[in-house]
Structure 1
Amino acid sequence: MATPQDIEKDAIGLAITQQEPKQEHDGTQNNAELQPTVSRRSAVEYSIFSKSQIRYIVFIASWAGFFSPLSSQIYFPALNTLANDLHVSNSLINLTLTSYMIFQGLSPMFIGDFADKAGRRPAYIVCFVIYIGANIGLALQNNYAALFVLRCMQSAGSSTTIALSSGVVADVATASQRGSYMGFVTAGSLMGPSLGPVIGGLLAQYLGWRAIFWFLVILSASFLVLFLIFFPETARKVVGNGSIPPQKWNMSLINYLHARKAAKEGKEIEEPSDRSPRKIGFPNPLKTLAIVFQKDTSVLLLSNAILFAGFYDVGAAIPSIFHESYHLNDLQIGLCYLPFGIGSTIASIINGKFLDYNYRRLARQHGFPIVKNRHTDLANFPIEKARLQIAFPLLTIGSLAVIAFGWCLQYNVHIAAPTIILFFLGLALTGSFNTVSTLLVDMYPNSAATATASNNFVRCLLGAGATALVVPMIDGMGRGWCFTLVAFVMLGTIPLLLVVIRFGPGWREERRLKQEAAQAEMAAARK
């Protein structure tokens, strides 16, 4: 059974399969001896889950990822009402958005690493217990300080679900399939911007803002019950390709049925040697920071964070501007988010198909083999180009849409114009940063939750700053020039992504060599 150190060779596609038990204590291995392992790995199924089971798993992961943006966006229509009820300014209420995003960036640093070590199910359970408790507190609180602190807890519980969902996709889908499945996972999370404001507007308008949080309690508790019964463990360090049963306490119905079927067929069930909870260790946020400071990933994360900040600038500005310019109530403001969210959801699904198509197109051009349900070594494949080519037209359209949105608001154009623009804005910007998110999972397939946590960390911190600044910027510059500046900053990511396409493969190879050298040193130290 391979140790976690043997498995951590993410970016180069040379991870040692968990079906190699003899390598665990062999301290005499050198780099040359690792190469046959790659061939053996490609000969086994990447995942034993059937296509229908994978779709089901991705659907549940997508549903779990729905709670983070839902919790953020369902709150938007009630911002004005909350400010009045708690007797605070709009700027202070907007700080609860900022704090939410800060914790949205920080908490996955801990839970992402924990999920890669201990499994997806334990990580999900921890997240939802925190989340449900925070929502109960939010429904009962009566002052701004409690609102602020509990929103941080709510974010800590819900935000990691997106990183975990990306990890689930990496567990069950090969690189040639990953674009579509990442699209489906992201579509679930982006239904939040579509449905959240509408639900929040309805609840705030007719039942009061407290009903928003009671609704989240009921929805998340119902999901957790279904999750505990039906969602299988997928983490490759725990169950390999799904053929290794997880610990009994971590078994779902699907895991139990797989184990029973194997027992009936007389198959020998391999028990992983690393079962002790003490070997999991405390989650290490430094692993997330290590990814942040890699050459290629740092450029990718900065680019994605800028796009995400622009996306959130638009969303955070809608309640106050639409209330002031068009005199809308909470429900009407919520309905204005529908085009934004629908465009984002459509983009996730369609963009995933384009990503898979472009991957296959470049694979044919380079004579690169694609074998169904087999691990693919991406060391000699331009995966950066295959993914990022899709982003450029979307990024350009999204930036132009931000400019148009700002000037429509500047001149108080009929509300139909900015709401239509919101659809195209959501469509284009979501497609852009989803492309980058898929590339990160390609580069770190065995630590996808940690890699996605690094993405959350950078983009949420930058997004938090942008959300806090957008209202003062609008007050100081005017709506048109504020969003024009935002759009030009977003367009500045195009040369950054071109740098990744040009130099990314070399940086990836450099990292591979360093990882192999580190493994050789560890092997020598074990002698």
Structure 2
Amino acid sequence: MQAAPRRSEVDAKATASLFTQDKSDEKAPPGNDELYSIFPASTRTHLTYSLGIILILSTLTATIYFPLIPTLSTHFSVSIQAINLTVTVYAICQAISPGIFASLADSYGRRPVLLALVLIYALGSLGLVLNKNSYAALMALRAVQSIGGSSIPSIAYGIVADVAVVSERGKMLGPMLATCNGISAVGPVIGGALALKTGGHKWVFVALLIIAVACFLAVGFTLPETSRVVAGNGSRAVHGIWKTWMDVLRGKKKQKEDRKQRITHEINVPVVKASQSLRRVVDSLRIILHPDAAAILRMIASSYGVYYTFQVAISVIFADVYAYNELQIGLAFLPGLSGMTIGGIIAGRLIDANYAKAAQKHNIDISQTEKLDLTDFPIEYARYRMIVPFIVAQTALVTSYGWAVQQHVHPAVPIILQFFICALSTLLSHTASALLVDVFPDVPSTAYASSQLARCGFSAASAAIIEPLVNAVGRGWFFTIFSLFTGLSCLFCVVVSRWKGIEWRRKRLDAKSRASASHP
């Protein structure tokens, strides 16, 4: 894995002096050679909420689909298990796709890859609109949707790592994820309402196509290139596909003015050889082999698997046990997805608060805006501070949910439990995801892609076995076994990461340094 190339000391000082004059909210600390990022607070705010909206192509695609499972089963004349298989295929593509596209984003920049992904997603959505009665086409086009949408979160995490220092990433991640989850929370209601009103599913896919086109235009016109390989800390002038369409439309006169405000010479986008790009793709798989990463990835997979399993199970439970129609099923998703939104907000605040506590203990000034060396800092302890009670609570709630449904208690009980379960699952998975990006700072998108591989692989297996296991042991015992498995996995991962994480991380970085020295 390659680190972003450093600028010379002269250029770094020139850049800092030029941009601190125009951006009062980005002050360089005394004695610092180069700001971590020159992007102003206004740009970070724009990125936060723009990415939150674009991320719905990943989350909304899943949430809007779940209430349609009974309807799709009837329309395509196949079993519920067959429709669940489309969910499994979607999850498999979620696991594989980010490793490819996130690595390309780390090599060639965020903008071109993000534009390509949104376009792929739009084409998949168009195909679903045109598909009438083919179950095979349904499965294939859902896979295309997944390929396009599922890589977007890894690129979003990469953008956050590009522009925000470690101590401020929660300020971006929390609102970004809350925006995404808040919009996605209404997905099941929209999907259920459209299916109930139209008697089918076509208009659900039409809605997804419209959203994809809007996101494509938003990325093209307004999203700046942030990759540190391409744009450095934001001071390098970019051109071609890396420049926003809005900047292109401003014309040559405006471009000349922009150049005068930047450093006096342009730095060309580095050319990455195909072999290097392929190696980056393989890196997302190789990350899993590092013991410090493996512990974090298992935490991500287990915690996210709780949320995903509930999204698959809810529509069937409320159709079979409580005889809900499509709209009512969609409404039943709302509390859980609202909990996911709130869990994302809380996660963002806890990520920064826990880091601040640990930094204070180790005499680190969190107001610094330069890149920090975390080699000797226990970032694993900082991120996982006070997380064990959340894991225990999630385990108890998932078990309670299973037996509440098994005993056919009033639907208000499982609906309330869904809120807290999804909030806790989201909090745990986002916290672990932030830690993974922290320990692989040079390739944040590739690191997050490896988490997609882990969590979606786990989720695909979970979606595939829900119906057979429920039929075999009942919902009470299924959720009991599932909660114990995921809860104990999360506890094990937290203990291992806090105990051995920093030691494994140092060994990995030492090995990387030796390899770089032997192959300059």
TM over 0.5: yes
1:288-303 aligned at under 5 Å gives the runs: 288-303=284-299
For residue 272 of structure 1, the aligned residue among 268, 272, 286 is 268
C-alpha spacing 1:21/1:515, structure 2 compared with 1 (3 Å) = farther
CA distance in structure 1 between the partners assigned to 2:335 and 2:37 by the alignment: 37
Query: 2:398 aligns to what?
Result: 402
- Give the letter aligned to residue 497 of structure 1: V
1:172 aligns with 2:168: no
C-alpha spacing 1:360/1:21, structure 2 compared with 1 (3 Å) = same
1:43-58 aligned at under 5 Å gives the runs: 43-58=33-48
Query: 1:369 aligns to what?
Result: 365
Query: 2:25 aligns to what?
Result: none
C-alpha spacing 1:86/1:193, structure 2 compared with 1 (3 Å) = same
Query: 1:519 aligns to what?
Result: 516
Query: 2:6 aligns to what?
Result: 17
Deviations 1:338-389 (A, max 9, x none): 1101111111112211111111111111112324322111112110000012
CA distance in structure 2 between the partners assigned to 1:283 and 1:218 by the alignment: 36
How much does 1:20 deviate?
A: 6.3
Q: Are the equivalent residues in 2 in contact too, given 1:17–1:41 (CA < 8 A)?
A: no
Tell me, which stretches of 5 or more residues in structure 1 are unaligned? 8-15, 23-38
1:29-48 aligned at under 5 Å gives the runs: 42-48=32-38
C-alpha spacing 1:265/1:490, structure 2 compared with 1 (3 Å) = closer
Query: 2:302 aligns to what?
Result: 306
Query: 2:136 aligns to what?
Result: 145
Deviations 1:475-500 (A, max 9, x none): 11111111011110122120221111
C-alpha spacing 1:41/1:213, structure 2 compared with 1 (3 Å) = farther
Q: Which shows bigger deviation, 78-87 or 489-498?
A: 489-498
For residue 105 of structure 1, the aligned residue among 85, 90, 95 is 95
C-alpha spacing 1:356/1:284, structure 2 compared with 1 (3 Å) = closer
How much does 1:274 deviate?
A: 2.0
Query: 2:492 aligns to what?
Result: 495
Partner SS state of residue 236, structure 1: coil
1:330 aligns with 2:303: no
- Give the letter aligned to residue 366 of structure 1: H
How much does 1:299 deviate?
A: 1.3
1:141-220 aligned at under 5 Å gives the runs: 141=131, 142-191=133-182, 194-207=185-198, 208-220=200-212
- Give the letter aligned to residue 137 of structure 1: G
1:506 aligns with 2:497: no
Q: Which shows bigger deviation, 57-66 or 238-247?
A: 57-66
Deviations 1:261-310 (A, max 9, x none): 55334741331362478687457421101111111111111121122222
Partner SS state of residue 373, structure 1: coil
Q: Are the equivalent residues in 1 in contact too, given 2:222–2:244 (CA < 8 A)?
A: yes
For residue 353 of structure 1, the aligned residue among 349, 360, 365 is 349
- Give the letter aligned to residue 514 of structure 1: A
Partner SS state of residue 81, structure 1: helix
CA distance in structure 2 between the partners assigned to 1:280 and 1:85 by the alignment: 46
Query: 1:285 aligns to what?
Result: 281
- Give the letter aligned to residue 219 of structure 1: I
CA distance in structure 2 between the partners assigned to 1:273 and 1:221 by the alignment: 28
Q: Which shows bigger deviation, 91-100 or 271-280?
A: 271-280
C-alpha spacing 1:114/1:349, structure 2 compared with 1 (3 Å) = same
Q: Count the aligned residue pairs.
A: 497
CA distance in structure 1 between the partners assigned to 2:454 and 2:476 by the alignment: 27
C-alpha spacing 1:161/1:18, structure 2 compared with 1 (3 Å) = farther
Partner SS state of residue 373, structure 2: coil
Q: Are the equivalent residues in 2 in contact too, given 1:233–1:255 (CA < 8 A)?
A: no
CA distance in structure 2 between the partners assigned to 1:225 and 1:292 by the alignment: 35
CA distance in structure 1 between the partners assigned to 2:275 and 2:8 by the alignment: 20
How much does 1:425 deviate?
A: 0.7
Q: Are the equivalent residues in 2 in contact too, given 1:359–1:383 (CA < 8 A)?
A: yes
Deviations 1:219-254 (A, max 9, x none): 110121122011100011000011102222320167
Q: Are the equivalent residues in 2 in contact too, given 1:96–1:148 (CA < 8 A)?
A: yes
Pairwise CA RMSD of aligned residues? 2.3
CA distance in structure 1 between the partners assigned to 2:274 and 2:492 by the alignment: 46
How much does 1:145 deviate?
A: 0.6
CA distance in structure 2 between the partners assigned to 1:415 and 1:104 by the alignment: 32
TM-score calculated relative to the size of structure 2: 0.91
Query: 1:223 aligns to what?
Result: 215
Identity %: 33
Partner SS state of residue 233, structure 2: coil
CA distance in structure 2 between the partners assigned to 1:190 and 1:309 by the alignment: 17
Partner SS state of residue 38, structure 2: coil
Q: Which shows bigger deviation, 337-346 or 186-195?
A: 186-195
Q: Which shows bigger deviation, 164-173 or 297-306?
A: 297-306
- Give the letter aligned to residue 499 of structure 1: V
Partner SS state of residue 495, structure 2: helix
Query: 1:81 aligns to what?
Result: 71
CA distance in structure 2 between the partners assigned to 1:260 and 1:408 by the alignment: 66
1:66 aligns with 2:53: no
Q: Are the equivalent residues in 1 in contact too, given 2:109–2:225 (CA < 8 A)?
A: yes
Q: Are the equivalent residues in 2 in contact too, given 1:239–1:245 (CA < 8 A)?
A: yes
1:421-440 aligned at under 5 Å gives the runs: 421-440=417-436
Q: Are the equivalent residues in 2 in contact too, given 1:100–1:151 (CA < 8 A)?
A: yes
CA distance in structure 1 between the partners assigned to 2:412 and 2:204 by the alignment: 27
Partner SS state of residue 443, structure 2: helix
Partner SS state of residue 47, structure 1: coil
How much does 1:178 deviate?
A: 1.1
CA distance in structure 1 between the partners assigned to 2:332 and 2:407 by the alignment: 18
Query: 2:17 aligns to what?
Result: none
C-alpha spacing 1:165/1:477, structure 2 compared with 1 (3 Å) = same
Q: Are the equivalent residues in 1 in contact too, given 2:236–2:263 (CA < 8 A)?
A: no
Tell me, which stretches of 5 or more residues in structure 2 are unaligned? 12-28
- Give the letter aligned to residue 6 of structure 2: T
Q: Which shows bigger deviation, 372-381 or 101-110?
A: 372-381
Q: Which shows bigger deviation, 59-68 or 113-122?
A: 59-68
CA distance in structure 2 between the partners assigned to 1:250 and 1:176 by the alignment: 28
